[in-house]
Amino acid sequence: MSLAKNPFIILPLDIKNQQIHLPVLEEKKVELFIKREDLIHPFVSGNKFRKLKYNIQEAENQNKKVLLTFGGAFSNHILATAVAGNLSGYKTIGIIRGDELGNDLEKTLVNNSTLREAHKNGMTFEFVSRAIYRNKSDVEFKNQLKEKFGDFYLIPEGGTNDFAIKGCEEILTNDDVNFDYICTAVGTGGTISGLINASDNHQKIIGFPALKGEFLVDEINQFVQKKNWNLQTNYHFGGYAKYNDALIQFINNFKKETDVLLDPVYTGKMLFGILDLVDKNQFAKNTKILAIHTGGIQGIEGFNQKLKRKGQQIIQ
Ligand SMILES: *Cc1c(COP(=O)(O)O)cnc(C)c1O
């Protein structure tokens, strides 16, 4: 398929910055806008589209027919790769953490909407133990995968590599130069790296890690030269996919008051952090903040299964 016709690469993008009105923003005279990257596609949303775009182009350049990548059982990246691959005519293989999930695939698919949707889009799964998954970068493991699946284009866990960062540099447009701060959630650090590279020198980029990630600063410094950024490490809520009642309540209130739905793993934590910093007078009057909605909405269904046992839910 020629690039110009690839329905994935030419997904129509009309991303808007939506102003958020909340009492705390009025009181502190801070303007907050959200870049609605979550609306790019229901399953290839936000930064996962940005990260896959040039990787798929590169797979095409290398004449590959198969995309192989890694992720957890609720991974936004796994589902995005499955759907993007399907749209672009690639076979996809997902190496999934948790060998117990492979014991009864039918049951796994009934219980897990992320994997169910990926499966519908033709993804082949290889479920591996946590120990093997931890060593997934080993040459030996890669060779085993080559033996089993033949030739493939490998996309790393979370999708982060040089091609991904090039894609994330396209999140910011010329109009965004008026913002004083650009905020994003951080997982592997690929998205924030693209934002830093694309930022203007007067702008500051703030990352909100979704996990306890002491390694993230070094990781990001591999991809960026500029120094106009920092990480706010107090808003991970205990670690990756960890949460508390306050976070769930915040996400539900935010939806009620702004009509913007946030995911509990990444964007909910970021917005909680931004508004907490506003409340604590960390932004001067008349500051303009742009927060990137990196997507992740598909993960709410799986998260709600966990919450249901405690009588809670995120209202979509
Ligand atoms: C994957 C993901 C992130 C993290 O992006 P990185 O580039 O890995 O830092 C943030 N938000 C959402 C919704 C994601 O799915």
Mutate to test the pocket of ligand 1, among 47, 49, 233 (most ligand atoms within 8 A of CB): 47
pLDDT in the model for residue 214? 82
* Whole-number percent of the chain with pLDDT over 70: 97
pLDDT tens digits, 176-233: 999 999 999 999 999 999 999 999 999 999 999 999 978 999 999 999 999 999 999 9
Q: How many domains does the chain have?
A: 2
- Please say if the pLDDT value at position 146 is more than 80: yes
Whether 37 shows a pLDDT value over 70: the answer reads yes
Region 32-60: mean pLDDT is: 95
Which structural domain, as residue segments, surrounds residue 255? 3-43+170-309
**221 and 304 housed in the same domain:** yes
Whether 315 is in a domain gets the answer no
Query: pLDDT above 90 covers what percent of the chain?
Result: 93
Residue where a domain terminates, one of 100, 125, 159: 159
**d(CA 45, ligand 1 centre) in Å:** 10
14 in a structural domain: yes
| Atom 5 of ligand 1, residue of closest alpha carbon | 187
Q: Is the same domain home to 34 and 89?
A: no
pLDDT in tens, 266-302: 999 999 999 999 999 999 999 999 999 999 999 999 9
Same domain, 86 and 9: no
Strands across the sheet containing 91-97 = 124-128, 91-97, 66-71, 153-154
CA 225 to chain CA centroid, Å, is 23
Say if residue 144 is in the same domain as residue 82: yes
Is the pLDDT reported for residue 7 higher than 90? no
- The stretch 35-54 carries a mean pLDDT of 94
259 within domain boundaries: yes
CA 128 – CA 155 distance, rounded (Å): 17
For ligand 1, the distance from its centroid to the CA atom of residue 292, given in whole angstroms, is 10
Q: Indicate if the pLDDT at residue 175 is higher than 70.
A: yes
Q: In this predicted structure, what is the pLDDT of residue 5?
A: 65
Question: Of 120, 140, 159, which residue sits at a domain end?
Answer: 159
Ligand 1 center from residue 27 Cα (angstroms): 31
Residue 314 lies in a domain: no
pLDDT at residue 118 greater than cutoff 80:
yes
pLDDT score for 6? 73
Q: Is 273 found in the same domain as 196?
A: yes
Q: Is residue 164 part of a domain?
A: no
Task: Note the pLDDT tens digit of each residue in 54-112.
Answer: 999 999 999 999 999 999 999 999 999 999 999 999 999 999 999 999 999 999 999 99
**Is there a single domain that holds both residue 180 and residue 265?**
yes
Last residue of a domain, one of 159, 184, 219: 159
Residues 6+ apart with CB under 8 A from 130: 97, 98
- Tell whether 316 is covered by a domain: no
